[in-house]
Amino acid sequence: MDIIVQKFGGTSVATKELREKVARKVIATKKTGKYPVVVVSAIGRNGDPYATDTLINFANDAFHEYDSRELDMIMACGEIISSVILSNTIKSMGYKGIALTGYQAGIITDDHYGDAEVLKVDNKNILDLLRQDYIPVVTGFQGATEKGNFTTLGRGGSDTTAAILGEALKASIVEIYTDVDGVMTADPRLVAEAKVIEHIGYDEIYQMAEDGAKVVHPRAVAIAKRGNIPLKVKNTLSDAPGTIIYHKVSPNKYSKKLSKADVLTAIAHKNNIYQVSVYFEDSVAANERLMNALTENHISIDLINFFIDKKVFTIDSKDFEKIEKILMENEFDYHIVKDCSKITVIGNAMRGIPGVMAKIVKSLSRENIKILQTSDSHNTISCLVRSVDTQKAVNVLHKAFNLSK
């Protein structure tokens, strides 16, 4: 049984015309002899009647207090509406669509409401339905506990649903449909010359997702890699071939002759970053107080540089009030730079290639773009810049590394 999981985001099912287009794509897959399993997000985006954020706002307005279990119940409604409407659209075209909640699809989670972890997937119900020639339309973003309580899987949960079902059903591929033609070398809203990447490795796309690209959620990539299930990012509105994501061997394994202009795959950026510098001598007690406070307040830090007399790291802007309170209560001497962006160049082929950092620094310096901080790993180099320089920096590096060729 050749199973294909096809996930459609909220914008892909936002109107009757779009849902009919989605249904035709699913039916076209069915006609090739394959067995499609569809995963859907809630219809539309914030402000649309059934979007997840709209439901959250409704709950916030309606209740002074509610527990996380009940919030998950109301958040699950958006995907249920999508699955019922799309399955009936498929039925109207002469095929056997059937709507399933995450629980009916066999997705069992822990009871960490709002960001539940999938414990197991019982694939029996879906496989039985496929054998009966049904096209299952599964609610993304949700599962349920062993007791049947609705749970949600956190942001990007529909991608996670698609990947976890792909693994459980041993699908030949998981297709992620969105409103772009595939994974691009940079955000096309910033870089007019950005182009679609034909194929990319799991590690590279994971890093892109972690560093700001919003095409596929990193958890879905990790699951697909674990199950060795190829992902394909495609456009709902076109027949563009899209981007295939799979285990990709670095060219460096076979050749060291790559130039610095050929080693990168893409550039990602993340906005709303604050840089925090904390000044104190290398005191074990002070370090412990700082680190414990960050952990207790669930503050994630990035771009970490620790020196004898200061600690420098970045945080998301949403954590500003919490970090400032911690620093003031501990009477630390500190300085915070607001309105920054993290620019990350990504490419497995940069391993072992000298001079990549030098090229980045030189390219940005020529355009008078100040680098506030850097970090690197085996397949990434990140630079912190002022937010006003974000678009210019991304374009400069995109051109310097010849990513539009």
Across the 405 residues of the chain, what is the mean pLDDT of every consecutive 10-residue run? 95 93 97 97 80 80 78 91 97 98 97 94 98 97 95 91 97 94 93 94 91 88 94 92 80 42 84 95 84 93 90 95 94 95 90 85 96 92 97 96 87
For residue 184, give the DSSP letter: B
**Degrees (nearest 5) of the Cα angle 195, 242, 201?**
80
Structural domains of the chain ordered from first start: 3-178 (3.40.1160.10)
Half-sphere exposure of 44 (CA within 13 A, CB side): 13
Q: For residue 249, what pLDDT is reported? A: 52
Task: Classify residue 238 as exposed, middle or buried by CB count within 10 Å of its CB (0-12, 13-18, 19+).
Answer: exposed
Count CB neighbours of 295 within 10 A. Answer: 10
Six-digit token string for 168: 């459980």
**Torsion angle, alpha carbons of 42, 45, 46, 49, to 10:** -60
Q: For residue 248, what pLDDT is reported? A: 65
- Give the full edge-to-edge strand order of the sheet including 173-178: 97-100, 135-139, 35-40, 3-8, 173-178, 231-235, 243-246, 199-201
CB distance 109 to 145 below 8 Å: yes
Strands 310-316 and 243-246: unpaired
Q: For residue 258, what pLDDT is reported? A: 41
Strands 243-246 and 231-235: antiparallel
Q: Compute the distance between CA of residue 267 and CA of residue 398 in angstroms, rounded to an integer.
A: 7
Q: For residue 57, what pLDDT is reported? A: 82
For residue 183, give the DSSP letter: -
Paired strand residues for 196 = 184
CB distance 56 to 71 below 8 Å: yes
What is the reported pTM?
0.87
